Amino acid sequence: MRKEAFPRTDRPRTVITTDPELDDLNSMIRLLTHAAELDIRGLVYAGSQCHSAGDPGRGIEPHRWPPAGAVLHIDEAIDAYEQVEETLRVHDPRFPTAARLRSLVRMGNIAAAGEMDEVTPGSSLIADLLRQIALTPDGAVGPDGEAADATRPLFIQAWGGVSTIARALRTVAEELGDRGDWPALRRRIVDRVVITSFGEQDSALSAYIRPAWPGLEHREVATMTWGYLTRAVLSPRDAELVGPEWMRRNVSSRGPLGAAYRVWGDGRQMAAGFDDEDYFGVSGATPQELAAAGYTVWCPLQPDGAFISEGDSSNFALLVPNGLGSWQDATFGGWGGRQVPHPELADAFTSDMRLSLPGAQQPERPPLVVDRAADGSAPEEYHQTRWWRALQNEFAARLAWSVTPRYEDANHPPLVLLAGAPAAVEGGLARDVRPGEVLTLTATATDPDGDDVLLRWWAYPEAGPAPCPLVPRLEDDGAGTVVVTVPARAEAGQQIHLVVEGTDTGSPALTRYQRVVLTVV
C-alpha cells in the first residue's frame, strides 16, 4: 500500500549553478529524480573555463556554448520532467511541478570564464537568498513555529564556474557592507552557507571569494567515479552498472527522462560546429579515425549506449536525505563521497581530485582521502565507489517511477530507525562512551512495499572530524542488533562512526542508513 505519511526531514536548501557540459545535463536529470527530497531554490546557467556564451558587444567570442535558439540543458531536463511529473507524484507527492522548477531558472554570469562584473538574473537570485540570510537573526522562527527559513543552511552548488556565486556575494557586500552591524550580518552568511564545486572551473574562488570571505566553507567534491574516467576506479563487480546493457535497460529506455540522458554513441553534441573534445556521440569510429578527423581522444571510447559521465552529481548526492546525514559535515562521508580539510587552503574541504580537466596539468601526489574496504585494501576513490551500486539502483528505481502509474508496481526505499534516536532519517544517534565500554545498539526497518529489509552494521573509522583509527569490535546478529566494544586504547575526543545499512529485497534493491557517532570521553 502507498505510504501516505512521509518521514519528516529538514530538506537541505540548495541552488544549482551549471554550465552546458553533457555531464551537467545527466546530473540535472538525476537531480530532478530527487527533486521531492531537496529544497531547490534556484537553477542557474553559469559559465566556466570549458563553456562560455561570449558577448559580441564586448568583443568576447563564445567558447563551446550551444547556438542561439537551442534549448539549454536545464530547460531540456525540465521539459522531459514535465512529461512524467504526475507519474512521479504517485510515488512521492512532494515532487514539484515543472512550472515551479521553471520559475527557478535564471541566466547567470556566462559571458566568459570568471566574469563577475555584471549583475545578472542568476546572481541576483542568489544575492536575494544571501540577503535574507544576513538579515534574519539567529533563533528567528517562521509562522509555523519552526526555525525561520533563512536560518537553515544553504548549499550553493557550482557544476561549472563559480563567478555567478562570487558576483552574488559581492553584491551583498556592496549593499550591506557600510552598515554598522555588517560584521554580524556577514557572520550569518559565513555560518549558514556552503559552496560545493566540481574542482575550480574559473578563477572566482581564488580571486575573490577566499580573500573577501574568509570562513566561508567550500567543499570540493570532484571525483573520477562520477566522471568520464569512472571505469578507472570502479570495482570490477560494479563495471556492469555503467555498461550499455544496464544503461539501456534501466536508463535509456525509461521514458522521457531516460531518453534525454546522454550515452555513448547517441549522435548528439554539446554545441554547434566542430569541437575536438566532443566525440562522445560519434558511433562506430576507432580512436585512429577520430584522431584523423581532428578530435583529441582524451577519454577511452566505450560501446554505444554506455555511461559517459555525470561528474557534477556528487554536489547534490551529499544532500540526499538517505540517513547518512553527510550534508551536515564534509568529513562524514556518504553518497557525495568524503572530504577532508584541504592541506593548504583555510575553510576548504577536498575529495583530492587528482584528475585534471582536459589540457590542464597537475602534479602526481598520494590521495588525501582513503577509505579501506573490509579486506583491508584501499581501492582508489573507495570513499565514493563504495556507494556506487546503491546510487545506480536508486537512479534506476526513480526512473522506473517516472513510467509506472501505480505505486504498487514499483520499488520504494525502506526506512531505517535507531532505538533511542530523537528523529528518523537524518537524526542519527550520538553517545559518549569510555575506552573498553561495551554497548548494544538496535535498529529496525520498515518497507512501504512490504519487502524484507536486510540490516547490517559496519564501522566507518575514517569518517568524522576526529576519527579513531582503532576499529571497534562488532557482534552483529544480522537482525538489527549489534554489540559494540569500544577499543581500550581509544583516546578522549576521538569519534567512532558506525553505520547501519538496510537494503530491501525489491528490484532494484534500495538502501537506506542510519549513523551512530560515539565520542570517547
521 contacts: CB under 8 Å, gap ≥ 6: 432, 433, 434, 492
A 10 A CB-CB count for 409 gives 11
- Identify the burial level of 112 via C-beta atoms within 10 angstroms of its C-beta, where 0-12 means exposed, 13-18 middle and 19 or more buried: buried
The one-character DSSP state at 503 is: E
pLDDT digits (tens, 9 = 90+) for 199-238: 999 999 999 999 999 999 999 999 999 999 999 999 999 9
389 phi-psi bin (left φ>0, alpha ψ -120 to 50, beta other): alpha
pLDDT at site 255 = 98
pLDDT recorded at residue 1: 31
Q: How far apart are CA 317 and CA 346, in angstroms?
A: 24
The closest of 201, 225, 211, 419 to 313, measured between CA atoms, is 225
User: What pLDDT was estimated at residue 366?
Assistant: 77
The model's pTM: 0.95
106 Cβ contact partners less than 8 Å away, ≥ 6 residues apart: 42, 43, 44, 45, 120, 121, 122, 124, 125
pLDDT value at position 361? 47
Which residues in the chain show pLDDT less than 50?
A: 1-8, 355-361, 424-425
Question: Using the 8-state DSSP alphabet, how is residue 252 labeled?
Answer: I
Which amino acid belongs to residue 34? H
Task: Please tell me the predicted confidence (pLDDT) of residue 142.
Answer: 85
Which pLDDT value is given to residue 356? 40
In this structure, are residues 47 and 331 in contact, taking their beta carbons and an 8 Å threshold? no
Helix/strand number for the chain, H first, E second: 15, 16
Tell me the average pLDDT of the chain: 93
Tell me how far apart the alpha carbons of residues 488 and 51 are, in angstroms, rounded to a whole number: 55
The reported pLDDT for the residue numbered 144 is 81
Phi/psi for 283 (5° steps) reads -110, 135
Query: Exposed (0-12), middle (13-18) or buried (19+): which is 442, by Cβ within 10 Å?
Result: middle
Give the Cα separation of 23 and 128 in Å (integer).
28
Whether residue 62 has a cis bond before it, omega within 30° of 0? no
